[in-house]
Amino acid sequence: MLGKKKCKTSEDKIMTTHHYAQQLRKWIASTPDKTLLAITHDRKCCDAMGAVMGFAYYAKQFGKDVTCIFARPHSQPMSERLYAEVIAPNGIMVLGEELEEKGELEKIIAQSTTLFALDTSSMQNSTYLPTILGKKQLKLYCIDHHEAGFEDIAKYPGSDIIRVEEAQSASCLITNLLRANNALPNDQETLIALYMGMYQDTIMIPPAHYSSLTTDAFAMVEARLLQESRQYITNLKSTPYPAQWQQYAKDALFYPTKNDSIVVGLGIIDNPGVVAYVADKLLAHGISTTIVMGLAEERVGTKVYRDLVASGRSNDSFASQLPTLFGTVFYIESNGRIISKGGGKITGTLASCAANIPLNPNIDVKQQWLTEVNKRKQELLDCNIPNECMTFYNGKDNGKTTI
Provide the H-helix boundaries in 83-202: 96-101, 105-111, 128-135, 170-180, 188-201
Q: In whole angstroms, how far apart are CA 124 and each of 115, 287, 368?
A: 17, 29, 21
Q: Is 119 one of the binding residues for Mn ion (CB under 5 A)? A: yes
| Binding segment (CB under 5 A) for Mn ion, from list 169-177, 274-282, 283-291, 383-391 | 169-177
Amino acid at 139: K
| Binding segment (CB under 5 A) for Mn ion, from list 43-51, 208-216, 242-250, 326-334 | 43-51
Among residues 3, 40, 46, 47, the one that binds Mn ion under rule CB under 5 A: 47
Q: Is 372 one of the binding residues for Mn ion (CB under 5 A)? A: no
DSSP, res 5: P
- The residue number with the shortest CB distance to Mn ion is 47
Q: Is 201 one of the binding residues for Mn ion (CB under 5 A)? A: yes
Q: In angstroms, what is the minimal distance from the CB of 195 to Mn ion?
A: 14
Q: In angstroms, what is the minimal distance from the CB of 389 to Mn ion?
A: 31
Q: In whole angstroms, how far apart are CA 132 and each of 38, 126, 146, 170, 297?
A: 11, 10, 21, 22, 24
| Nearer to Mn ion among residue 164 and residue 266 (C-beta) | 164
240 Cβ partners below 8 Å, 6+ apart? Answer: 77
Count of beta carbons in the 10 Å neighbourhood of residue 282: 24
Q: In angstroms, what is the minimal distance from the CB of 170 to Mn ion?
A: 5
Count of beta carbons in the 10 Å neighbourhood of residue 379: 14
Q: In angstroms, what is the minimal distance from the CB of 341 to Mn ion?
A: 17
| Nearer to Mn ion among residue 48 and residue 236 (C-beta) | 48
- CA 69, distance to chain mean position in Å, is 14
| Binding segment (CB under 5 A) for Mn ion, from list 99-107, 119-127, 259-267, 356-364 | 119-127
Q: Are the C-beta atoms of residues 122 and 133 closer than 8 Å to each other?
A: no
Please report, as residue ranges, which positions from 282 to 321 form the binding site for Mn ion (by CB under 5 A). none
Instruction: Please count the residues of this chain forming the interface with Mn ion, following the rule CB under 5 A.
Output: 4
| Nearer to Mn ion among residue 248 and residue 277 (C-beta) | 277
Cα-only R_g, the chain: 21
Please report, as residue ranges, which positions from 79 to 118 form the binding site for Mn ion (by CB under 5 A). none
Which residues contact Mn ion by CB under 5 A? 47, 119, 170, 201
